[in-house]
Amino acid sequence: MPEEGLFSQLKRFIVGKPIPSHLAYHERLSRVTGLAVLSSDPLSSVAYATEEILRVLVLVGTSALTRATPIAFVIATILAVVVFSYRQTIHAYPSGGGAYIVAKDNLGELPALVAASSLLIDYVLTVAVSIAAGVAAITSALPQWHVSRVELTLAFVLVLMLGNLRGIRESGRIFAAPTYFFVVTILTLIAVGAWHVLTGTATPVPPVEPVQSTGVPLTLFLLLTAFSNGCTAMTGVEAVSNGVPAFEPPEAKNAAATMLTMAVLSITMFLGITLLSHAYRITPSEQETVVSQLARGVFGDRGLPYYAVQAATMLILVLAANTAYADFPRLASILARDRYVPRQFMNQGDRLAFSNGIVGLSVLAGILLFAFRGDTHALIPLYMIGVFVSFTLSQAGMVVHWRRIRGSGWRASAAINGLGAAVTGLVLLVVAVTKALEGAWIIMLLIPLTVLFCRLTRRHYEGVATQLTLRGWQSRGPRHNTVLVPISGIQRAVLEALDYARTLSKDVRAVYVNVDPVATEHLREEWERWTDGVPLVVLDSPYRSLMEPLLEYIEQVADQKPDGYVTIVLPEFVPARWWHHLFHNQRALLIKGALLFKPNTVVTSVPFHLRH
Amino acid sequence: MPEEGLFSQLKRFIVGKPIPSHLAYHERLSRVTGLAVLSSDPLSSVAYATEEILRVLVLVGTSALTRATPIAFVIATILAVVVFSYRQTIHAYPSGGGAYIVAKDNLGELPALVAASSLLIDYVLTVAVSIAAGVAAITSALPQWHVSRVELTLAFVLVLMLGNLRGIRESGRIFAAPTYFFVVTILTLIAVGAWHVLTGTATPVPPVEPVQSTGVPLTLFLLLTAFSNGCTAMTGVEAVSNGVPAFEPPEAKNAAATMLTMAVLSITMFLGITLLSHAYRITPSEQETVVSQLARGVFGDRGLPYYAVQAATMLILVLAANTAYADFPRLASILARDRYVPRQFMNQGDRLAFSNGIVGLSVLAGILLFAFRGDTHALIPLYMIGVFVSFTLSQAGMVVHWRRIRGSGWRASAAINGLGAAVTGLVLLVVAVTKALEGAWIIMLLIPLTVLFCRLTRRHYEGVATQLTLRGWQSRGPRHNTVLVPISGIQRAVLEALDYARTLSKDVRAVYVNVDPVATEHLREEWERWTDGVPLVVLDSPYRSLMEPLLEYIEQVADQKPDGYVTIVLPEFVPARWWHHLFHNQRALLIKGALLFKPNTVVTSVPFHLRH
């Protein structure tokens, strides 16, 4: 292109440079980069999982906080089961086995749509929860920023949105550093903390706020609520199994190894933080996170190592939020291909489709953060439903998969996935019961609504496809085209429109509405001089209306040649500045609106470019 | 029209039936109806004028309230001068002499635009102040509604807007009844009150709230402030002189007589209410209007006559607000004809132009009422500037008019208008000085900004006119038109678009972007069978983009035939339901946007109507 058009410039500015097809899979992930890129979401959740358990138990009193340890061990066990279950998905779906794909292949349309809806909601909550928790890490280190919590979270959403629209995903590998920074600082924290405990030099951290026992009894329901909260440690473990094709060959083997590493790190960090929190007698607070208190206890108040922990926590959480910016548009694109969401989300080479997904995701996450005042604890109950619905459906789908394939050792594989499905299904049940009234009901309502929307969308497109079928179609051959040019006087834009109209048909007529006989007479006199024989039709307007006589005349022309087309050619000003649109009639739009539903009628605007 | 189009139906629903030209001046106003229709605005202002004086004086203490009487006499005298001055305008401008027209004829562009800006602002404030005062009449009678004051005012604006959009102006004569109802109830109130005072049976009304003397001294500035406030009694007196052509013949004579009646009634009611307020020792209150207190004092607490006064006050104030709904669009239409405001406001037979004015007026009045919490007192300082600027310019223009005409007795006429201009100019000065800090500064800022906007608008249209001149224009004769039909496959909508395209030119080409070699091969195989020899152009897309190869190809075609046109024909789905737009790509819009600034390129959509 010798000159780049407005559109290309605009698009390039917003979405960045296009990627040629042959480069799309150029850079594959090694195990080291794969862990960093795909595990930020599951690893980052250890930043808040322990705290979510403690803040339920503290309702009973500080003595109940010891119960966190057994709960954490149960969760770690379940996490291991889920990871083993997902490793099988990696081998069975080397091209990427998201819950939607596995459910669609094995369970049918409805479970697939339930999985897809859960995942879409899950991605929105990944952004909201991760950013809320990241901001909590900041406000723990810098308490004076606590009052601006909501504004900070919204600012992060904005930065992620703009960054992703501009295309930071391409250079996402640079952003992998925070994952290792986080792993190293947390493991160091655990090691140093363990050393202090073992040497007896650990001193309890005094409570940030006085603990007010609310006299709640230690019931099974309360323990299950604490357990539900702790299950946030499991969010995001499926990421590696979705990203198999991005690994270096042998893809499945590398992905499986990466997933194992991720699981070991996750469990180590989660148990480590939980055990140390117990040893340092940490009580949850609205002002400061558990990890922040622990880091103060282990490293001493507000030194360099302390700030390193807070910075690493904040960074990995923002990175975790960022992963949803790749996942949401990708799933939306797959759903659009299957015609379950509007095709604007379908990726067709340009990144425009992804842009729609990125903006949609940001707006939804922003609404959640605003509505829940940027509070991690308030968002957690909403998070879990979507995560465990997709876990359960994905594992259940794998059981069916093995039964269908019946390869060697299929029973063992089916048993592992069956255990995974049973365990995650049980957790889903616990979460639904304990969290329903804390906000999970919103998600239980949103999932069926999203499924309904997907089905209506699909039905619409199927209806359109029927109407587009070529069965029985026959070209009606050459047809007459009556070209009408409505004019309001003689000026350059009108004459240019007439010039253009004359290339379209031999039957061109200018149409003028007479509201002022003197002006009409003047027009008739000038007409021949400028228009070289184009017939001028003058319409009377008893009601002084400009539109209605024109519409009536179009109707007449159409009636005279029922087989022909009627084309309305309108001169349209293209102002030099966008706000100059204010100064020009939207008459073309009105005429288009009026004729939109009339068959065989086409309205064309001939742009007349104003220079200033 | 055998069948009524969507557009006509929609328009009829929103703006009502059109009026044939020959009926436009069918019904003329007699003196009796003329008084009712054109005087509701000036007469209604007596409902709040006295109160506005008292609430300034009470700052000094109850003893200062006696000063209201001499102030009211000064205002009544000025009102008489202004009315005599305007009666001359009636005779000089029998076709209607608004301040803009008089100033334009006699003083030049800048004063005319200042007058026009003042009037536009004045109309917005007429709506805001009248509705606020009308709601104050309601909340005085029903104190429990006082808390919903803002909501009530906004509800009234909404009702007036919808009513005027539907066209109640046509049946406006029914609404004349409230004017006479108001005049009769207020005159009765004054007569009965006067009887009580003369017979010594009048008992003072106890203060609604205890009067808190703020210890402000009785300065000249305070007296002038009270005077400024009282001048609200004069707002709207020009209405009759603007509406001369609406009267029965002899138009000018009838209008002049009507204006005199209006002045006598205004002065009588204003002085009557002021004198009685003194006799009944009424103190202003935030909770209850002066007129409401007076009605209680004269007629006894909350009987039928009391409620009649409140209802009449509320009704005439709403009617006064309604007059602005005729005046604002009319002035906007005149300004649009002179190209000082966007042409969307120009009345061209359809009522659409008026609709723009009605919605604009409602939105502005609504903003004011919301911003000033529906408080009459807060709005009054903003009201006066615009009113007195247009009074002064209008009278000054008349002086120049008489000097120019130099008919018999022109000196006397000029002297009367000169006195009018001097007096209103002096009042303007007083208002500007005493009210500047109470909100009048907003208007002093808005008037020059509106003038600036008018000038920029005019300059823009003049620039456009230069570009539309026919000087040097020559038809470039028959030119080639290359018609391109971008397609994404073969289906019915595409084939119909091709059928249409073939009526436009002999050079029609279908353009397909190859992103999937298999699909492209399939398309090539099917092509001949369906398309009867239309050439198929296949473009490669290394970046998987659909837009960029197409734009490049259009560029190539344009380069090959620099003198010809390029027409892009796109099939466009017209969904059966508006929300189905959600499901369809806005590709046509994107292509139009991309090609908007390319000369000799036209983008045409061929509608394909979806049945469901």
| Predicted model pTM | 0.70
- What average pLDDT does range B244-263 have in this prediction? 88
Whether the per-residue pLDDT at B3 is higher than 60: the answer is no
B464 vs chain A: nearest CA distance in angstroms? 7
* Top-confidence residue, B21 or B108: B108
Structure-token pair, residue B68: 């209201």
* Top-confidence residue, B496 or B165: B496
Provide, for chain A, the percentages of residues in helix, strand and coil under a 3-state DSSP scheme, each rounded to the nearest 5.
70, 5, 25
**The pLDDT value given to residue A171:** 46
Q: How far is CA B462 from the centre of its chain?
A: 25
Please indicate whether, in this complex, the C-beta atoms of B551 and A463 are within 8 angstroms of each other.
no
A493 vs chain B: nearest CA distance in angstroms? 6
Please indicate whether, in this complex, the C-beta atoms of A6 and B593 are within 8 angstroms of each other.
yes
DSSP assignment string, A345-369: GS-BSBTHHHHHHHHHHHHHHHHHH
Name the residue facing A596 among B350, B457, B607 (closest C-beta): B607
- For chain A, give the mean pLDDT: 86
**The pLDDT value given to residue A300:** 86
Question: What residues of chain B lie within 8 A of the CB of A463, using their CB?
Answer: 610, 612
B374 touches B356 (CB < 8 A): no
How large is the angle between the packed helices A149-166 and A304-337, nearest 10 degrees?
Answer: 50
**DSSP conformational letter for B599:** T
Measuring CA to CA, which residue among A48, A9, A5 is closest to residue A375? Answer: A48
Please indicate whether, in this complex, the C-beta atoms of B544 and A597 are within 8 angstroms of each other.
no
**DSSP conformational letter for B247:** B
A610 vs chain B: nearest CA distance in angstroms? 7
Name the residue facing B609 among A505, A565, A597 (closest C-beta): A597
What is the share, in percent, of chain B residues with pLDDT greater than 70?
Answer: 92
- For chain B, give the mean pLDDT: 86
Whether the per-residue pLDDT at A92 is higher than 80: the answer is yes
Distance CA B523, CA B545 (A): 19
- Specify the range with the lowest mean pLDDT, choosing from A578-592, B265-279, B518-532: A578-592
**The pLDDT value given to residue A4:** 44
Structure-token pair, residue B173: 């004569």
CA atoms within 13 A on the CB side of A562: 1
Per-residue pLDDT of A336-353, as tens digits, reads 989 999 888 876 555 666
Question: What residues of chain B lie within 8 A of the CB of A3, using their CB?
Answer: 555
- What average pLDDT does range B39-63 have in this prediction? 90
Residues whose CB falls within 8 Å of the CB of residue A196, separated by 6 or more in sequence, listed in order: A202, A298
Name the residue facing A544 among B7, B349, B585 (closest C-beta): B349
Name the residue facing A585 among B343, B490, B542 (closest C-beta): B343
Name the residue facing A349 among B350, B545, B595 (closest C-beta): B545
Structure-token pair, residue A338: 């299957």
Please indicate whether, in this complex, the C-beta atoms of A609 and B597 are within 8 angstroms of each other.
yes
**The pLDDT value given to residue B24:** 44
DSSP assignment string, A53-104: HHHHHTTT-GGGGGGHHHHHHHHHHHHHHHHHHHHHHHHH-TT---HHHHHH
- Specify the range with the lowest mean pLDDT, choosing from A22-31, A543-552, A579-588, B339-348: A22-31
Residue A199 CB coordination number (10 Å)? 8
Measuring CA to CA, which residue among A551, A540, A600, A485 is closest to residue B7? Answer: A551
Q: How far is CA A353 from the centre of its chain?
A: 11
**The pLDDT value given to residue A173:** 59
Confidence label for A579 from pLDDT (cuts 50, 70 and 90):
confident
DSSP assignment string, B467-509: HH--TT-----S--EEEEEEESS--HHHHHHHHHHHHH-S-EE
- What average pLDDT does range A242-267 have in this prediction? 89
Per-residue pLDDT of A28-81, as tens digits, reads 778 888 888 888 889 999 999 999 999 999 988 888 889 999 999 999 999 999
Confidence label for B27 from pLDDT (cuts 50, 70 and 90):
low
Question: What residues of chain B lie within 8 A of the CB of A491, using their CB?
Answer: 468-470
Whether the per-residue pLDDT at A538 is higher than 90: the answer is yes
Distance CA B232, CA A343 (A): 61
Please indicate whether, in this complex, the C-beta atoms of A1 and B500 are within 8 angstroms of each other.
no
A147 touches A390 (CB < 8 A): no
Please indicate whether, in this complex, the C-beta atoms of A543 and B610 are within 8 angstroms of each other.
no
Closest-CA residue of chain A to B1: A552
B607 vs chain A: nearest CA distance in angstroms? 7
B352 vs chain A: nearest CA distance in angstroms? 10
**The pLDDT value given to residue A467:** 87
Per-residue pLDDT of A385-431, as tens digits, reads 999 999 999 999 999 999 998 888 899 999 999 999 999 999 999 99
Name the residue facing B5 among A21, A476, A594 (closest C-beta): A594
Distance CA B454, CA B447 (A): 11
Whether the per-residue pLDDT at B600 is higher than 90: the answer is no
Reading phi first (left if > 0) and then psi (alpha if -120 to 50, else beta), residue A575 is in beta
Name the residue facing B548 among A8, A21, A552 (closest C-beta): A8
Question: What residues of chain B lie within 8 A of the CB of A468, using their CB?
Answer: 491-493
**How many contacts (CB atoms, under 8 Å) link A and B?**
220
B407 vs chain A: nearest CA distance in angstroms? 33
**The pLDDT value given to residue A15:** 47
**The pLDDT value given to residue A586:** 67
Question: What residues of chain B lie within 8 A of the CB of A495, using their CB?
Answer: 470, 473, 475
- What average pLDDT does range B175-185 have in this prediction? 86
**The pLDDT value given to residue B511:** 94
**The pLDDT value given to residue A175:** 61
**What is the helix (H) or strand (E) element at residue B206, kind and residue range?**
none
**The pLDDT value given to residue A168:** 52
Residues whose CB falls within 8 Å of the CB of residue B184, separated by 6 or more in sequence, listed in order: B312
At B9, phi and psi to the nearest 5?
-60, -50
In this structure, which amino acid lies at residue A255? A
Per-residue pLDDT of A123-134, as tens digits, reads 999 999 999 999
CA atoms within 13 A on the CB side of A59: 14
Name the residue facing B545 among A18, A504, A605 (closest C-beta): A18
Burial of A445 (0-12, 13-18, 19+ CB in 10 A): exposed
Per-residue pLDDT of A164-212, as tens digits, reads 877 654 445 566 788 899 999 999 999 999 999 999 888 888 888 887 7
DSSP assignment string, B353-390: HHHHHHHHHHHHHHHHHHHTTT-HHHHHHHHHHHHHHH
Per-residue pLDDT of B499-527, as tens digits, reads 999 999 999 999 998 888 888 999 998 88
A570 vs chain B: nearest CA distance in angstroms? 11
Residue B129 CA: distances (Å) to CA of B82, B135, B153, B318: 22, 10, 10, 10
Confidence label for B1 from pLDDT (cuts 50, 70 and 90):
very low
* Torsion angle in degrees (nearest 10) through CA of A200, A204, A205, A208: 180
* Top-confidence residue, A287 or B269: B269
Please indicate whether, in this complex, the C-beta atoms of A584 and B343 are within 8 angstroms of each other.
yes
How large is the angle between the packed helices B290-299 and B177-198, nearest 10 degrees?
Answer: 60
Distance CA A49, CA A53 (A): 7
B340 touches B116 (CB < 8 A): yes
**The pLDDT value given to residue B349:** 54
DSSP assignment string, A353-410: HHHHHHHHHHHHHHHHHHHTTT-HHHHHHHHHHHHHHHHHHHHHHHHHHHHHH--TTH
A33 vs chain B: nearest CA distance in angstroms? 26
**The pLDDT value given to residue A167:** 61
**DSSP conformational letter for B533:** T
- What average pLDDT does range A583-599 have in this prediction? 76
Residues whose CB falls within 8 Å of the CB of residue A327, separated by 6 or more in sequence, listed in order: A119, A123, A239, A242
Q: How far is CA A456 from the centre of its chain?
A: 20
Confidence label for B173 from pLDDT (cuts 50, 70 and 90):
low
Distance CA B123, CA A566 (A): 45
Distance CA A559, CA A578 (A): 40
Question: What residues of chain B lie within 8 A of the CB of A8, using their CB?
Answer: 548, 551, 594
How does B452-476 read in b/e, with b if 16+ C-beta sit within 10 Å? eebeebbebbeebeebbeeeeeeee
Closest-CA residue of chain B to A565: B500
**The pLDDT value given to residue B19:** 44
Whether the per-residue pLDDT at A296 is higher than 60: the answer is yes
Residue A100 CA: distances (Å) to CA of A242, A339, A387, A392, B525: 10, 14, 13, 12, 35
Per-residue pLDDT of A10-34, as tens digits, reads 555 444 454 444 334 446 778 888 8
**The pLDDT value given to residue B9:** 52
**The pLDDT value given to residue B572:** 84
